[in-house]
């Protein structure tokens, strides 16, 4: 509207922010008044309705005992604990499935995206079929489907045993667990030291390449450190003890349990999101011009190095932004856990609402939590995006 300034009334002496015309000011004033009026009336209605139900607006209920039994908790929890703790347990459950899901979906999605571009028509066709079927059916349906499948697995006594120490049954997935002892602590320290050393090595080699133009691979000493140091620590201090699941009576004892609900939710989220990530990866790789492949081939690079050194760095610029939204989608979609009974944040919040009637407060809490998770994820991915983005001079 700025270019109609000649026809617009003379500008005020103190320029108004943004808007240049009186009409703009009026529009904004109207909007502000409408928002305030509607908000005020909704707030009053809410107070009146809550009063009619004998409720008081406020977050005091968070300190009351919840009495919600939650089967899966990463921190100690009993039904006698407060609502605050129950919601925290739900949040941790959400984060657990989201973080593991994001990692697995990325790995599977990249593999599928590459398979979709394979020169082998059989592999391409199979991957294409998978992607179309998964993308065109609702996630809720897939989740209950996987849940039904997991519940149809054999009973504990006939549990499937695909790998030693891994048992798959109606009760979920059983895996060996690392015991939290001093040996595990030192093993973790060793891994940390190895990673730090690898990073320092990488930095030194980069500086060397800048200076001399020579390039030496760092993966061999890096991997040697990563595996060598913990093994060395194991010899010196003793290996961290592993608890193997054993069948005792009607259930397994020891080991780590992934409940059927967690397992079904993770399976569903990973399989669903991976199909979308695969398409993003495919589109990203296809966006790199053919000339880049040809030039790299002309330099005599091997196919693996072409992908790693030439194609992927360029494809990542196209891949990262939509990948971020897929990560956010996976996190938000984990709230569908309520359909199959995994106690995530939304599920615990829903129970809390039913028990206390404090709907506004609880919903405000979980919406705020999801907004924070979304913002933090976007922030991290945007930082990464800036690192890979095209640097124009």
Applying CB under 8 A, the residues found at the interface with another protein are 1-4, 7, 17-20, 24, 27-28, 31-32, 35, 42, 45-46, 48-50, 52, 118-123, 126, 132-133, 135-142, 144-145, 148-149, 152, 328, 332-333, 335-336, 338-339, 346, 350, 353, 359-360, 363, 366-367, 370-371, 374-375
Residue 116 tokens, joined: 């979709």
Cα gap 157→127, rounded to integer Å? 35
Quick check: 230 and 187 in contact, CB under 8 A?
yes
Q: Which is nearer to another protein, 21 or 218 (by Cβ)? A: 21
- 218 or 286: whose CB is closer to another protein? 286
Residue 200 Cα distances to 193, 195, 300, angstroms: 11, 9, 30
- By beta-carbon proximity to another protein, the closer residue of 88 and 142 is 142
Rank residues 50 and 201 by Cβ distance to another protein and give the closer one: 50
Nearest to 260 by CA among 164, 148, 370, 98: 148
Taking the complex as a whole, the smallest distance from the CB of residue 305 to another protein amounts, in Å, to 16
Q: Measured between alpha carbons, how far is 241 from 178 in angstroms, rounded to an integer?
A: 6
CB of 149 to another protein, least distance (A): 8
Report the residue number, 231 or 364, with the smaller CB distance to another protein. 364
Q: Quick check: helix, strand or coil at residue 202? A: helix
For residues 188, 269, 330, 362, the Cα torsion angle rounded to the nearest 10 degrees is -90
Q: Which is nearer to another protein, 38 or 242 (CB)?
A: 38
- Of the pair 98, 229, the CB lying nearest another protein is at 98
Q: In the complex, what is the shortest distance from the CB of residue 115 to another protein, in angstroms, rounded to a whole number? A: 9
Residue with smaller CB distance to another protein, 113 or 255: 113
Q: Which token pair is 258?
A: 């992934």
Region of residue 328 (phi > 0: left; psi between -120 and 50: alpha; otherwise: beta): alpha
Shortest Cβ distance from residue 335 to another protein (Å)? Answer: 4
In the complex, the smallest distance separating the C-beta of residue 199 from another protein, rounded to whole angstroms, is 34
Rounded CA separation 93/369 (Å): 13
Closest distance to another protein from the beta carbon of 250 (Å): 23
Q: Residue 208 CB, nearest distance to another protein (Å)?
A: 34
* CA angle (268, 375, 287) in 5-degree steps: 65
Instruction: Please compute Rg for the chain using Cα positions.
Output: 28
Residue among 44 and 78 whose Cβ is closer to another protein: 44
Q: How far is the CB of 228 from another protein (least distance, A)?
A: 32
The rounded distance, in Å, linking the Cα atoms of 132 and 126 is 10
CB 94 within 8 A of CB 331: yes
Q: Which is nearer to another protein, 142 or 257 (CB)?
A: 142
In the chain the first and final C-alpha atoms are separated, in Å, by 33
Rounded-to-10 torsion of CA 74, 78, 79, 85? -50
Closest C-alpha to 105, from 385, 388, 331, 315: 331
**CB of residue 359 to another protein, shortest distance in Å:** 4
Minimum CB distance to another protein, residue 189 (Å): 38
- Rounded to whole angstroms, the Cα distance separating 222 from 224 reads 5
Q: Least CB distance from residue 165 to another protein, whole Å?
A: 25
Tokens 């709907």 label which residue?
A: 359
Kindly tell me which of 198 and 342 has the beta carbon lying closer to another protein.
Answer: 342
94 close to 377: Cβ distance less than 8 angstroms: no
8 A C-beta contact, residue 212 and residue 199 = no
């Amino acid at each position: 509207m700025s270019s109609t300034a000649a026809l617009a009334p003379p500008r005020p002496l103190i320029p108004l922010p943004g808007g240049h015309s009186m009409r703009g000011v009026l529009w904004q004033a109207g909007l502000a008044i409408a928002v305030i009026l509607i908000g005020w009336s909704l707030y009053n209605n809410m107070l009146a309705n809550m009063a009619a139900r004998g409720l008081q607006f406020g977050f005091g209920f968070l300190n009351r005992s919840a009495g919600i039994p939650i089967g899966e908790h990463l921190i100690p929890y009993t039904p006698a604990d407060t609502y605050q703790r129950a919601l925290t347990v739900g949040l941790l459950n959400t984060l657990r499935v989201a973080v593991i899901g994001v990692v697995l979906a990325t790995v599977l999605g990249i593999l599928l995206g590459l398979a979709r571009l394979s020169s082998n028509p059989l592999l391409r066709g199979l991957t294409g079929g998978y992607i179309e079927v998964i993308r065109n059916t609702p996630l809720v349906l897939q989740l209950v489907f996987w849940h039904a499948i997991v519940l149809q697995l054999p009973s504990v006594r006939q549990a499937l045993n695909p790998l030693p120490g891994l048992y798959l049954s109606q009760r979920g997935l059983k895996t060996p667990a690392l015991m939290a002892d001093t040996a595990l602590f030192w093993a973790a320290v060793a891994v940390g030291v190895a990673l730090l050393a690898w990073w320092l090595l990488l930095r030194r080699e980069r500086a060397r390449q800048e200076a001399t133009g020579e390039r030496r691979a760092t993966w061999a000493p890096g991997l040697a450190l990563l595996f060598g140091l913990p093994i060395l620590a194991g010899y010196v201090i003793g290996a961290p003890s592993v608890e193997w699941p054993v069948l005792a009576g009607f259930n397994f004892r020891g080991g780590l349990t992934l409940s059927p609900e967690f397992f079904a939710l993770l399976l569903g989220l990973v399989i669903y999101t991976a199909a979308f990530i695969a398409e993003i990866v495919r589109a990203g790789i296809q966006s790199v011009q053919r000339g880049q492949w040809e030039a790299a081939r002309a330099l005599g690079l091997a196919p693996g190095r072409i992908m790693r050194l030439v194609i992927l760095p360029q494809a990542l610029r196209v891949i990262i932004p939509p990948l971020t939204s897929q990560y956010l989608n996976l996190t938000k979609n984990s709230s569908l856990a309520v359909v199959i009974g995994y106690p995530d944040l939304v599920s615990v919040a829903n129970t809390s609402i039913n028990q206390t009637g404090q709907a506004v407060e609880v919903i405000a809490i979980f919406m705020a939590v999801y907004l924070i998770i979304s913002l933090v994820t976007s922030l991290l991915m945007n930082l990464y995006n800036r690192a890979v983005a095209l640097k124009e001079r």
